């Protein structure tokens, strides 16, 4: 038994995992409400089967043998695949089949409860199942083992190597630098953006969103877009990648930037090597790197002036009654209006990180047992008052707004901020290496940027760690200064702020 046998086994595990993903995608898009109970059962059954294959003793033996002998006989990519799979195998062995089934079933039930609670604006409908989920995640942290803080075990699932100690330092930079800069912006006159909230019929928005995805070179022969209550991207292979968007007829911002954001995720998935299906070398490195791709497209590209020089006229013609008298400059300033808000996915790109601070703070305390689920609405609202200076009016605009906890995704949220910081650093490097990048964007030619991302990031799968990849692409580890430099240059100009040394 050798590398080929390992590859065949990993392919089978991937087949089942992607079948679970397909059922989950359907659950969030088209599944009728009455199908919820059996869907939870179906996903739990498949999750148990996948776990059984992933923890099979024969697979463990193959991985151990390959890891010992491979240092001499295997090429570097294969050696890294084996090492990463052995690490995952060792983690999976710590779970019992019963625990996996319970976690999976609770996640499906939790999602249905969250959906109902959000619709009815009643946290009490969600709280009991969320409390069960939090207890399961605490158990999971103990099963996996950790140093210093139980939250580290959960962070590592989404951003391998991330720790509370390291993130506390990074978010300290956010507090000390970004908070100060946002206060400067708050003292300046705000751009007018009322025209963003007029009536924008759904169908025209939908069609424009599809145009934006096509311009990004999202491959519709290997993907599709649908509507969901919360925008997301999922993949069943690099040749079948699904994105969803959210359309609000009284908020033009929601559809446009959720399309571009999820399109960035989708492009990363479509750029992974199909020859490595089921193997680490065919998977995204981490959620921080994944988020860097969506945030780069959404903010560094999708909220820049050259991008809208290419696209604004078409949007204006779709809605002449709303935008006919709005200039490109006014539209650009409006899309980049900085103002505290309740909803994370509709936040501007600067105060967005205060939303992540709230969630990071809440999750650490929940997993450490310092706050209880029943206390969440009050605690959440107090943190929003502290970080964003606003009073949360209702649970659907507060603690119920995100889908992630219903999935059991604790440790996920910090990757959103990490992604933005990686994105600024990657885009800075792309701007150095792609001649006339902003001119190309102004012409609507986004292919050179996509090709750069394919070559520098997408094609490598998990060959590198996130830190190794960042160093490989930019010449240094993640550095918050690139985000602050980007923010000060862009928003300093929009708000006519006095130039400060970054």
Q: Which residues are catalytic?
A: 262
Please name the residues in contact with 267: beta carbons below 8 A apart, sequence gap of 6 or more. 216, 217, 218, 293, 297, 450, 453, 458
Structure tokens at 231: 């925008």
Q: Angle 76-92/3-29 helices, nearest 10 degrees? A: 60
Please name the residues in contact with 288: beta carbons below 8 A apart, sequence gap of 6 or more. 158, 159, 162, 414, 415, 418, 419, 422, 466
> How far from chain centre, in Å, is Cα 470?
18
> How far from chain centre, in Å, is Cα 166?
20
| 245 strand-pairing partners | 227
**Of the candidates 487, 496, 493, the residue with the CA atom closest to the CA atom of residue 180:** 487
Please name the residues in contact with 449: beta carbons below 8 A apart, sequence gap of 6 or more. 301, 430, 434, 437, 440, 441
Cβ atoms of 104 and 45 within 8 Å: the answer is no
For strands 240-245 and 223-227, give the pairing: parallel
Cβ atoms of 473 and 429 within 8 Å: the answer is yes
Host H or E run for residue 260: helix 252-270
Cβ atoms of 478 and 421 within 8 Å: the answer is yes
How far lies 42's CA from each of 36, 56, 109, 112, 316, in Å? 10, 21, 12, 15, 47
Structure tokens at 369: 């047992």
What residue spans of 30-96 are helical by DSSP H?
A: 36-54, 57-73, 76-92
**What are the helix and strand counts (H, E) for the chain?**
23, 3
Report d(CA 110, CA 106) in Å as an integer.
6
CA dihedral 349, 350, 356, 361 (to 10 degrees): 180
Structure tokens at 27: 């659950």
For strands 233-237 and 223-227, give the pairing: unpaired
Cβ atoms of 243 and 223 within 8 Å: the answer is yes
């Amino acid at each position: 038994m050798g590398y080929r046998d390992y590859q065949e086994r990993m392919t089978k595990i991937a087949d089942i995992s992607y079948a679970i993903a397909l059922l989950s995608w359907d659950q969030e898009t088209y599944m009728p409400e009455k199908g919820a109970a059996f869907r939870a059962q179906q996903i739990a059954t498949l999750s148990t089967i996948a776990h059984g294959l992933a923890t099979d003793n024969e697979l463990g033996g193959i991985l151990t043998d390959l890891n010992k002998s491979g240092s001499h006989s295997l090429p570097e990519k294969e050696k890294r695949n084996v090492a990463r799979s052995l690490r995952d195998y060792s983690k999976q062995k710590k779970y019992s089949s019963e625990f996996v089934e319970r976690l999976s079933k609770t996640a499906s039930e939790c999602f249905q409860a969250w959906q109902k609670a959000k619709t009815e604006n009643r946290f009490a409908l969600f709280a009991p199942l969320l409390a069960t989920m939090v207890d399961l995640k605490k158990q999971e942290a103990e099963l996996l083992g950790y140093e210093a803080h139980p939250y580290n075990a959960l962070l590592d699932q989404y951003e391998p190597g991330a720790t509370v100690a390291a993130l506390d330092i990074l978010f300290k930079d956010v507090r000390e630098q970004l908070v100060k800069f946002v206060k400067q912006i708050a003292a300046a006159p705000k751009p007018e953006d009322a025209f963003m909230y007029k009536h924008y019929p759904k169908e025209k928005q939908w069609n424009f969103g599809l145009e934006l995805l096509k311009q990004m070179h999202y491959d519709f022969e290997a993907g599709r877009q649908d509507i969901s209550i919360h925008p997301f991207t999922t993949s069943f292979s690099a040749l079948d990648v699904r994105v969803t968007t959210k359309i609000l007829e009284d908020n033009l911002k929601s559809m446009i930037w959720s399309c571009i954001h999820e399109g960035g995720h989708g492009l990363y998935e479509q750029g992974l090597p199909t020859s490595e299906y089921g193997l680490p070398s065919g998977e995204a490195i981490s959620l921080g790197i994944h988020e860097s791709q969506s945030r780069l497209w959404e903010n560094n590209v999708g909220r820049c002036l050259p991008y809208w020089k290419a696209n604004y006229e078409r949007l204006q013609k779709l809605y002449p009654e709303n935008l006919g008298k709005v200039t490109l400059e006014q539209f650009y300033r409006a899309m980049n209006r900085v103002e505290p808000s309740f909803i994370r996915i509709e936040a501007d790109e600067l105060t967005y990180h205060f939303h992540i601070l709230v969630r990071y703070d809440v999750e650490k305390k929940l997993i450490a047992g310092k706050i209880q689920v029943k206390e969440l609405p009050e605690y959440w609202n107090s943190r929003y008052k502290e970080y964003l200076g606003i009073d949360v009016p209702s649970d659907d605009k507060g603690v119920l707004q995100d889908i992630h906890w219903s999935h059991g995704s604790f440790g996920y949220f910090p990757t959103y901020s990490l992604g933005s910081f990686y994105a600024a650093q990657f885009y800075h490097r792309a701007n150095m290496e792609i001649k006339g990048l902003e001119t190309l964007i102004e012409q609507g030619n986004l292919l050179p940027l996509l090709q750069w991302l394919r070559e520098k990031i997408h094609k490598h799968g998990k060959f590198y760690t996130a830190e190794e990849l960042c160093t490989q692409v930019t010449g240094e580890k993640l550095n918050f200064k690139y985000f602050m430099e980007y923010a000060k240059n862009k928003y300093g100009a929009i708000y006519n702020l006095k130039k400060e040394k970054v």
